[in-house]
Structure formats: structure tokens, C-alpha cells
Amino acid sequence: MKSKQCLSSVTVRLFLIIVTLSFSIQTNAQLTEQSKSYNRQDTLRGTINDQRSWWDVKHYAIAVTPDYTQKKIEGSVVLTFNVLKSGSVMQIDLQEPMELTAVKWNGQQLSVKRDGNVSIVQFPSELATGKTEKIELSYSGNPRVAMRPPWDGGWIFTKDKKGNAWMSVACQGLGASVWFPCKDHQSDEPDSASLSITVPDTLVAVGNGRLRSKEPAGNGKTTWIWAVTNPINSYNIIPYIGKYVNWTENFAGEKGNLDCSFWVIDYNLEKAKAQFTQVPLMLKCFEYWFGPYPFYEDSYKLVESPHLGMEHQSAVAYGNGYQNGYRGQDLSRSGFGLKWDFIIIHESGHEWFGNNITSNDIADMWLHEGFTNYSETIYTQCQSGKATGLAYVSGTRALIANKSTIIGKYGVNEEGSGDMYYKGGNLIHYVRQFFKDDEAFRAALRDMNLTWYHKTANTGDVEKFWSKKAGRDLSKLFDQYLRNTQIPVLEYTISGKTLSYRWTDCIPGYDIPVKISINGKESQWITPGTGFKSLKLKENIDSVKTDLNFYVKEKRLPNAESSLKRDGLN
């Protein structure tokens, strides 16, 4: 068998052509794997079209009465909106099989035409720009029932361990229109909302924000009225109905006293009081790193839910069984994930990333999940120091699939891959390395929450923000990790005192710096490109290792292979 040194240039070029073709086939396969067909309903849901763009939601006043036995709900929504430009045709989202039974405006019944999961409402004439209007939407039906919440969304009809009715909703991604009529798009958050829940006297109803009143409704029923005064995404507006008991606490936060209340199924009260002592520790850590809790006016609540958990604003859903870790497991396999309750920390982290800062399009959901995943690393650091934070975030890399991109398809209500969690968190950790110290990085996180305080955002704007804060153009870093499935490989060769290195498995022109240690000494920065660069030392090089803070791969090449590539045969 001939050695590599004896390969002719023709043979090498032929080999590289085959490799290139193979890579092209693999890339096409990846693209095919990610491809999905979309229909008109997807576009109606995911796009701000002509029937949506002329009006802006200001307030939802939702009233709902569930029927546990028939798995049915009925209710009404008074939708207050501003007229941004004159219009007369409005799209209202309400998913089948729910029915929009009536739409009234100024006491007048409006024409409604059903089109799948949307209803087209026709006003008698164009509404005037600048005016504030109200419509009343009546609806009823058997909503989609969640079979595996929170991953499979819908209304939840179940029972607690004592056989009492227990109901709620989980609808992130699926959307609030699965149970009430609304403008079901993340870019348009109401400035405030209220939720009136009418239930049997034997049950308790909990909603977002603060309890405004509890009123007799007749026939053995009570209406619980909750309200939020801050902007809220529609998928976060959620009723919880069950045999709840509660207690309250006060947290001395950055903006003063934060009211905290905890609602749990009656027989879990003592376990909850013990487990929820983690809440003030979490609030102290997150306020320090991310800025004040974003919803002081609406309080902080943790509510036991009939599913694992969800970031419902000011009423965080908790269903982790009063144990540390994720259902008792450490997702990072570092050991540090068992020192805290995953659902308390992760879902509360969403109050800053997802609820305070919300992506305009669900395709950019990594802005919610990537930063919130990194809040787990931040909390681990708050508990046990920076080294444990690194152990946690690097440990989660084993969960990254790299089969499809983090960014989803825009305009069709399609989020990206599940890598938005762990790969997103590791991307943010990579960005962190470009800051001179933790104080600078912490200031940037706080400024991010201030810049988009109670606002929606796009990935592009956030990318520019972090490039500016880091003092360097990070666009290629974001492209590589958000819009590509490959992880950069630092290829290198050692020849005596000379180290030659480059990036492969990367986008064209990729030149993002990384830290390496040579001969086990302190890490130093290098800036590889897609062509080889060299570094000469005063001593022989025995070993090279990429810094664990960077989610990259490394590969040492034989010297002969490296020389062939430097000679232009790569």
C-alpha cells in the first residue's frame, strides 16, 4: 500500500472531489430532513397579513366556564384594539373544533366566515385610523385535549390523586387560539389582560397576575377574576383549576417588595413549602444577573400544574414532583443539575427571556429557550461557583443532536429544532468568552432585558446587540450555530515548535477566535480561518487542547496530510 506522501497530485485532487461530492450529498440530505410542506392555514397563522396588520391588540378580557364532565368550555372575550390604519376585514384565530358563535361591535352583530382555524370578521365599513375599538367574541365547544402535555398542547382535563377535578391549559407553539379567540401571533401582545374563570364552589381557579375578586356565580359556582397590568403573550394566559391551597411570601428585590404566592394541591402543601424555599435564591441570582424581575406589578406565582411545567407569566406552572433535577435526573450529567429544581429555575428564567423579551416570530424561539437554558448555568454558578457553571453547560453538549437548525421557518408558525435549548445555551457561553470579565457580561445581560423590556425582538437585532457589546462582529458565529448543523472543527498539525491550524466543517469565511492550551499551559487566543495559519513557539509542542468553554471539536492531522493541503490541494 502506498503511503500518503507518495500520492500524486491528481490522486489527491480526485480524492477531494469525491469528498466534496459526499459533503454535498450529506448537506442536501440535511436540508431534505429539515424540509416540510406548509399549507394556507400555516401561512394564515404565522404571517401578519392584511387582515392582521391594520389593528393592534390592547387588552383581552377573557371569561371562561369549563365543563369537566363534557370536556367542554364556553366563554367570551372583549377584545380592545387600536386601529393602526383603516381596515374593515379582521382575522380572528380560533382553532377547530372550537366555534366562534357571535361577534358584536357597538351592539351590532358582525358577519363571520370560517376558514379552517381562523374566522374572517367583516365590519360594515372601514374603521378610522387612530381610534380605539372593542369587539365582543362569544365562543364554545370541545377544545383539543392535550394527550401529552406540555409537549402535546391543548386543554387538560384530569384528576388529582384524590379524584378531584384538575384542569388547565398548555399551548406554547400550538397557540392560545386552541381555547379562546384572539390574534394568535407572538408579535402582538396585549398591554394587559384579565381572566374570569367560573368553576364549582368546591374548586379554586388561579390565573395570571393578581386576584381582583371572587364572586358568587349561582348554581353552586364561583367566578375568580385575575388580571395582569403588564404586556403578556397570549399563550401565557392560562387558567389553573383544582383543589388548591396557597400561602404568600415577600421577596426584598431590586424594585422593592415583590409579592410571591404559591398555589398547590392541598395534600402537597408541606412538600411544596420545603421545595419552594429555592424561589428566593433563584430570584436573588436572576435579579443580580438579568435585572429586576420584570413583573413586580403582577407579582410572582408558582402554581402546581397537571403537567411538567411552563413559563406562564406571573403564574409559572410547576409539575416536577417536588424533587431536584429534571424529574430527578441531571440533564448535564455533571452532578450539579441535582442541586436545584429544574422546573423552578428554568421556567422562572423565562420571566426574563420569553416573557419580558418575546420573539416576534416563533421561528426565533431560541431567544426564549437558549437564554433560559443558559440561566441554568448562571444559577449553577450562583450556587457553587464559575467552575461548576462550566461543568454544567459543557455537560449539556451530549444532548445536542445537530440534525436541523435552531432557527425555524418564518411566517408559518414553525419553531426550530430542540437544539435551541442546549446548543443555544452553549452559543451564549461562547459569546460570554469575548467579554473582559463577568461584570461586563452581566451588564450586557441586564442591558438586554432593559433594551427589550416588555417588548418583542428579532434574532437579527439581538445578534447586532451582542456584537456591539462584545466589541467584535459575531455574525459568523451566530450563522454557524443558529443556521448550520455542523460544529466547527479545529484541525491542526504539530511540527516541532510550529503549530498549524484552521477551521473546517464551517461556513465560508468562518474566522471566529477560540482559546487553546499548548503543552498544558494557560489558554491563549488564536484566530483560525478556513485556510491554515501557523504559530511558532520557543519550545517543542507536545499537546494542544481547545478550552472547554468553547463548544467546538478538534482534530489533529498527520503532518503529511497537512502539508498537502497547505500546498493548495485542499
* Residue pLDDT, tens place only, 107-161: 999 999 999 999 999 999 999 999 999 999 999 999 999 999 999 999 999 999 9
**If you average pLDDT over residues 228-241, what whole number do you get?**
98
Residue 4 has pLDDT above 70, yes or no: no
pLDDT grade for 2, boundaries at 50, 70 and 90: very low
Q: What is the pLDDT of residues 352-396, one digit of tens each?
A: 999 999 999 999 999 999 999 999 999 999 999 999 999 999 999
Q: What is the pLDDT of residues 263-278, one digit of tens each?
A: 999 999 999 999 999 9
Instruction: Over range 506-517, report the average pLDDT.
Output: 98
Write out pLDDT tens, residues 466-489. 999 999 999 999 999 999 999 999
Residue 32 CB burial class (10 angstroms; 0-12, 13-18, ≥19): exposed
Per residue in 500-511, pLDDT (tens digit) is 999 999 999 999
Does residue 560 have a pLDDT over 80? Answer: no
Residue 21 has pLDDT above 80, yes or no: no
**Which of the two residues, 61 and 16, has the higher pLDDT score?**
61
pLDDT bin (cut points 50, 70, 90) of residue 163 is: very high
Q: Is the pLDDT of residue 411 over 60?
A: yes
**Which pLDDT does position 22 carry in this prediction?**
36
pTM exceeds 0.85: yes
Contact 379, 346 (CB under 8 A): no
Helices (H), 266-362: 269-275, 278-290, 342-349
Query: Per-residue DSSP letters for 375-417?
Result: HHHHHHHHHH-HHHHHHHHHHGGGG---SS-SS--TTTT----
- In the DSSP assignment, the letter for residue 565 is I
Tell me the per-residue pLDDT of 30-53, one tens digit each, with 9 for 90 and over: 333 445 789 999 999 999 999 999
Cβ neighbours of 140 (radius 10 Å):
17
- Average pLDDT of the chain to the nearest whole number: 93
Name the band, by pLDDT with cuts 50, 70 and 90, for residue 559. Answer: confident
Q: Which residue has the cell 364554545?
A: 140
Say how far apart CA 366 and CA 364 lie, in whole Å.
5
Q: Which of 194, 150, 190, 157 is closest to 173 using CA atoms?
A: 150
Give the pLDDT of residue 217.
97
In percent, the amount of the chain with pLDDT more than 70 equals 92
How confident is the model at residue 5, as a pLDDT?
Answer: 33
CA distance linking residue 153 with residue 174, whole number of Å: 6
Q: Are 381 and 389 in contact (CB under 8 A)?
A: yes
- Beta bridge partners, 103, equal 137
Structure confidence at residue 565 (pLDDT): 53
Instruction: Show the domains of the chain with their CATH numbers.
Output: 50-184 (2.60.40.1730), 343-482 (1.10.390.10), 486-569 (2.60.40.1910)
pLDDT of 36: 76
User: Looking at the predicted structure, is the pLDDT value of residue 408 above 60?
Assistant: yes
Which region among 11-25, 234-248, 275-289, 519-533 has the lowest average model confidence (pLDDT)?
11-25
Tell me what the mean pLDDT of segment 519-526 comes to.
96
DSSP, res 337? G
d(Cα 194, Cα 139) in Å, to the nearest integer?
17
pLDDT beyond 70 at 27: no
pLDDT at 15: 33
Alpha-carbon separation of residue 145 from 115, 150, 158, 178, 445 (angstroms): 21, 11, 10, 9, 38
CA 404 to chain centre: 17
What average pLDDT score do residues 495-499 get?
97
